[in-house]
Amino acid sequence: MLRHLTLVSCLALSACAVPIVVPLPAPVPTPDPDPIEAPQSAKERFASSVAANGCALTAANSDLIMAEAVLSREDLARVMTELQAEGRGEIDGQAFRITSGTCA
Element (H, E) at 53: none
Element (H, E) at 43: helix 42-52
**pLDDT class of 101 with cuts at 50, 70, 90:** confident
Contact 56, 96 (CB under 8 A): yes
- pLDDT given at position 98: 92
How confident is the model over 67-90, as pLDDT tens digits?
999 999 999 999 999 999 999 999
**Is a pLDDT exceeding 80 seen at residue 8?**
no
Query: From the centroid of its chain, how far is CA 94?
Result: 36
* Domains in the chain: ranges and CATH: 42-103 (1.10.10)
